Chains A and B, each alone.
Chain A
Amino acid sequence: MAKITLDNLAHSYLPNPSGEDDYALKELNHDWQDGEAYALLGSSGCGKSTLLNIISGLLHPSQGRILFDGQDVTHQATAERNIAQVFQFPVVYDTMTVRENLAFPLKNRRMPADEIRRLVQKVGHMIGMEAQLDRKARGLTADAKQKISLGRGMVREDVNALLFDEPLTVIDPHMKWELRTQLKKLHHDFGHTMIYVTHDQTEALTFADKVVVMYDGRVVQIGTPQELFERPAHTFVGYFIGSPGMNVFDAEISGSEARIGEARIALPASYATAGGKTQLGVRPEFIRLAEGGDGIPAKILRIEDVGRHKIIRLDVAGREINATLPEGTPVPAGTDRITFDPEGINVYENDWRVAPKGQREAA
């Protein structure tokens, strides 16, 4: 178990990267605290897997250093780093039995046989495959194979970190819950540093203590699920987290007042902007429907009832905006305006969140 430090790390798949656009992973400094469970969240191609492969040593970074507990491991091979990693698609050794598969990483480290037996039994129980330990891995279903892959990742107790690269993609939803619970329990019992890559926000938010959101090769926000929800540091975070995501309105900001088209909106605090493109971000939960009065003109396009709440799709000056209402609350028939709940308003300049005056927050 170790603290993992990324120092000035960046990676490009091109031999001679010139501009910033050539980097799949842009310059990054970050400490992964020992024993914490992180989720690395972002859409496909944003550099998540690149970062993971650099940490495990499968990929050599173009620049920067990686340190485990302060010790430079940038040039160490994967095997020397003693890391466990589980991949998106199941990797099993076909000719081995399930038991031999699980024992493989331990055998390679020359552990005593009875210790191997004990650990394999334990992890076999954890992934729910005790009954199948002695059958061949070939011919098992994809999710059984992935459970074996997970098991191989979890079987070593002394690893520096456990890395998961979208490991539950091929598993069916019911089993997903169970395995995720097992992973959390494992984390709780052993306190491994865990990094869990996913593009599924639910998976990220339920698994991790801290969620790291990546966008276009850059880490845009690191925070607890609550922070990501309430104060998204970047419009991408607002849009990516939440279902539906945050609504973004182009707005002019002057002090504590915002103007969207003709409508004037009072902000809960005063904001200093530097003349960039300014926007308001409001989550659907904080949008109120109104009839007449001050709000922004809006037209209801359709209402979708998803069971636990209703999603109202509105047209605001040609753009589609989402609002949610709790289940059982009737939608006002004559809705032609929307207003914002002041506590749910965030101000953005050039896509990055602007902190209200007199309030300093780490982005």
Chain B
Amino acid sequence: MNKTVNQKAWFLVLPVLILVAFSAVIPLMTVVNYSVQDTFGNNVFFWNGIYWFEEMLASERMWNALGRQVVFSSIILAIEVPLGVFVALNMPKKGFWASFCLVVMSLPLLIPWNVVGTIWQIFGRVDIGLLGHTLDAIGINYNYTQGFYAAWTTVIVMDVWHWTSLVALLAYAGLQSIPDAYYQAAKIDQASRWAVFRYIELPKMLGVLMIAILLRFMDSFMIYTEPFVVTGGGPGNATTFLSIDLVKMALGQFDLGPAAAFSIMYFLVILAISWVFYTVMTNLDKRDAK
């Protein structure tokens, strides 16, 4: 086939380039700009080199927030992925109940973040919340505004409630793509339920599961609204995750320089981890093909 060379086609991409420039590149550059400058007020900025980056890397506060963030993301991934797969495996394959389950499962995904936060904030209150009051009544000491474990449990359960559906729906889509013949062949081969999962369902789900893990990792690593509404980062700094800490620094203390340096490193960490995920995902297929 002969391809025509026509450089004018670049003009067709131009609108997208302009849009992306305004929506992403230019705002990002202002952050870069702040991260390498300092000011003594009056809108006079001067060059500060990489000082803010050095300060942030040496800051215990940032490392603590990062630590909490990593623990949080690991815990919710460890719960949501197996739970989502388990739910997907037990959902009906077709008929009315399949549609019913799908609708019910999607409901939490449709609720805005701050509403989810509000729901759990009220749900967990000891005075008027159904959950908090019930736990208190049966003698469990539960108060997310004061207890470290109560706060963490609430934030984690809330995230599991909000997002397990996503993993389940993606896993379900993966399961639906498995032809019946595979299950029939497994019956003929006298495979156990575990073997069917291990050798048929899991390999076929792997692609979508990796996407689910990637999405849940990125989302949880950037989580802000829900814990902010429920615990406000407390008690103390117990649930102050990276985003919450960043906002405190940038808007609460107006430390624009350090906050900008912090956001750039935050962004790079997410980018790096996502890149690793992506590489592992694409290589998985290639390696198996050999």
Within 8 A of A (CB), among B165-206: 179, 181-182, 184-185, 187-192, 195, 199-200, 203-204
Residue pair A79, B182 in contact (C-beta under 8 Å): no
* Docked pose: A78 CA to B187 CA in angstroms: 6
Residue pair B181, A108 in contact (C-beta under 8 Å): no
* Docked pose: A153 CA to B191 CA in angstroms: 14
Residue pair B187, A108 in contact (C-beta under 8 Å): no
Residue pair A89, B289 in contact (C-beta under 8 Å): no
A18 within 8 A of B: no
Chain A residues with CB under 8 Å of B60's CB are none
* Docked pose: A77 CA to B189 CA in angstroms: 12
Residue pair A104, B289 in contact (C-beta under 8 Å): no
Within 8 A of A (CB), among B238-290: 288-290
Residue pair A95, B199 in contact (C-beta under 8 Å): yes
Residue pair B189, A136 in contact (C-beta under 8 Å): no
Residue pair A108, B191 in contact (C-beta under 8 Å): yes
Number of A-B contacts (CB under 8 A): 65
Residue pair B190, A58 in contact (C-beta under 8 Å): no
Residue pair A139, B289 in contact (C-beta under 8 Å): yes
Chain B residues with CB under 8 Å of A56's CB are 188
Of A80-88, A236-244, A251-259, A288-296, the segment with at least 4 beta carbons within 8 Å of chain B is A80-88
Q: Of residues B185, B203, B289, which shows the largest number of chain A Cβ atoms within 10 Å of its Cβ?
A: B185
Within 8 A of A (CB), among B213-245: none
Within 8 A of B (CB), among A82-114: 83-85, 87-89, 91, 93-96, 104-105, 108-109
Residue pair A83, B188 in contact (C-beta under 8 Å): yes
A235 within 8 A of B: no
Residue of A nearest to B192 (CB): A108
Chain B residues with CB under 8 Å of A135's CB are 290
A152 within 8 A of B: yes
A149 within 8 A of B: yes
Chain B residues with CB under 8 Å of A94's CB are 203-204, 288
Chain A residues with CB under 8 Å of B184's CB are 53, 58, 78, 85, 87, 91
Residue pair A79, B288 in contact (C-beta under 8 Å): no
Residue of B nearest to A56 (CB): B188
Residue of A nearest to B188 (CB): A85
Residue of A nearest to B195 (CB): A108
A122 within 8 A of B: no
Residue pair B191, A136 in contact (C-beta under 8 Å): no
Chain B residues with CB under 8 Å of A136's CB are 288-290
Which A residues have a C-beta under 8 Å from some C-beta of B?
53, 56-58, 77-79, 83-85, 87-89, 91, 93-96, 104-105, 108-109, 135-136, 138-139, 149, 152-153
Which B residues have a C-beta under 8 Å from some C-beta of A?
179, 181-182, 184-185, 187-192, 195, 199-200, 203-204, 288-290
Sort A-B residue pairs by CB-CB distance and give the 9 closest, nearest first.
Answer: A139-B289, A91-B185, A78-B187, A105-B189, A108-B190, A79-B190, A93-B199, A87-B181, A138-B288
List 19 interface pairs A-B (beta carbons < 8 Å), by A numbering.
A58-B188, A77-B187, A78-B187, A78-B190, A79-B187, A85-B184, A85-B185, A87-B184, A88-B181, A89-B179, A91-B185, A93-B200, A96-B199, A104-B191, A104-B195, A104-B199, A105-B188, A108-B195, A138-B289
